Amino acid sequence: MENAYKNFLASLALVKNLIQLEDNIYNQLLEPKRVLEVNIPVKMDNGKIRIFKGFRAQFNDARGPFKGGIRFHPNVSYDEVRALSAWMALKTAVVGIPLGGGKGGVIVDPRELSERELESLSRGYMQAVYKIVGPESDIPAPDVYTDPRIMGWMLDEYEKIAGKHLPGVITGKPLDIGGSAARSYSTAQGGLYVLEEAMKKLQMKSPATVTIQGFGNAGYNMAKILQKNGHKIIAVSDSRGTVVNCMGLDVDDLYRHKQKTGSVANYMGAEELGFAHCFEQEADILVPAALENSIHKGNAREIKAKLIIELANGPITPEADEILVDMGVLVVPDILANAGGVTVSYFEQVQNAYGYYWEEKDVLQKLKRIMSLAFNEIWVKKEEYKVDMRTAAYILAVERIARAMEDRGMA
């Protein structure tokens, strides 16, 4: 397994040399400001106590409170959470919202828990991190295998301990308790806006054909939004299989199949291929929307797409990244491509602070403006430094974080 944190450090070192980042700043970006490790006891349905290990990494808060999701997954680790927290700091900087970066995680396969056990774990996590989170210090949100329902339990737990309503402590909440319109699909929606900018730059024909890897919240919503915008989804994969239909898959029908069976595999409206064949499909655009390192040196050369939109965090290993750059593929990096989620989280917090809620169309208009602006600001850096888009995005982000640190006298 690739070490995501090592990958982050390698990118940071590259940027340091390109922009001649001062050692005083660089050294403070080598480690998160704080990582809390917690052990959460949960009484299981069989009456036995099971202990779950969790983390909350707070990477950098020079630009605003730490911000980032909580992941429930069996592969969560100290290094993964640290890397994800660093990427969050870069992400909030790239889109220019006044937040820093953090991330949480619990080592668990939530699909093995009953609803009661899951609620108990979610409340237990909030109790464990209570002292270091808050609307003005560190604001969690959903991530892989966590959802609005879990955010609702966590919010309730936090407010019970605090003894008052503080909806801004967590984002991605259900609408009835202070969630924002459009937050549930905002990661994908932001992905669409940058995809449209990238298609313009590459002068690609629209509609395009698309392959999507991963069919969770981000992947499913992206497929749905792309289809609504006239594009053709020709292949979708998840951890159990890949389904292909060159005429275009019916996204909602495929989703119903996944709801029923737990996977896209065995879907009738498609031809089925092994997981490894996903990349060989002749699509114009590839959207990785699953976990880290799914595109590696073993499969990168099989990619036919001219454009990749990284909806997942860290889906491409550094070796694969080099191969893709050589092949002339434009990779829109995760810290921009999936920043629509945290951007609408920021809107959610603003609405919570005001106690006044915006209409969906207003949220989307503001999101589009931010995503398109960030894309074009990165493009300017890309031309200026003659680098790929990922490096350009890192440059923009690190410069912004460095300026905030200097302003605070931290340099």
Residues in contact with ligand GLU by CB under 6 A are 67-69, 141, 143, 171-172, 313, 338, 341-342, 345
Q: Which is nearer to ligand GLU, 133 or 283 (CB)?
A: 133
CB count within 10 Å of CB 86 equals 29
Taking the complex as a whole, how short is the minimal distance between the CB of residue 405 and ligand GLU, in angstroms?
A: 21
Q: Which is nearer to ligand GLU, 184 or 211 (CB)?
A: 184
Q: Which is nearer to ligand GLU, 141 or 222 (CB)?
A: 141
User: For residue 288, what are its two tokens?
Assistant: 């990785």
Number of DSSP helices (H) and strands (E) in the chain, helices first: 13, 13
Q: Is 206 exposed, middle or buried (0-12, 13-18, 19+ CB in 10 A)?
A: exposed
Taking the complex as a whole, how short is the minimal distance between the CB of residue 159 and ligand GLU, in angstroms?
A: 19
Q: Which is nearer to ligand GLU, 171 or 281 (CB)?
A: 171
Tell me the DSSP string of 317-347: -HHHHHHHHHTT-EEE-HHHHTTHHHHHHHH
Alpha helices in 20-166 (DSSP H): 23-26, 78-94, 115-129, 148-162
Which of 67, 91, 103, 258 is labelled catalytic? 103
Cα diameter, the chain: 62
Q: Which residue is nearest to ligand GLU (CB)?
A: 69
Q: Which is nearer to ligand GLU, 99 or 285 (CB)?
A: 99
Rounded CA separation 265/298 (Å): 23
Rounded CA separation 411/328 (Å): 38
The answer to whether 102 and 59 have CB atoms below 8 angstroms apart is yes
Is 224 a known active-site residue?
Answer: no
Taking the complex as a whole, how short is the minimal distance between the CB of residue 27 and ligand GLU, in angstroms?
A: 26
Taking the complex as a whole, how short is the minimal distance between the CB of residue 131 and ligand GLU, in angstroms?
A: 19
Taking the complex as a whole, how short is the minimal distance between the CB of residue 230 and ligand GLU, in angstroms?
A: 27
Active site residues: 103
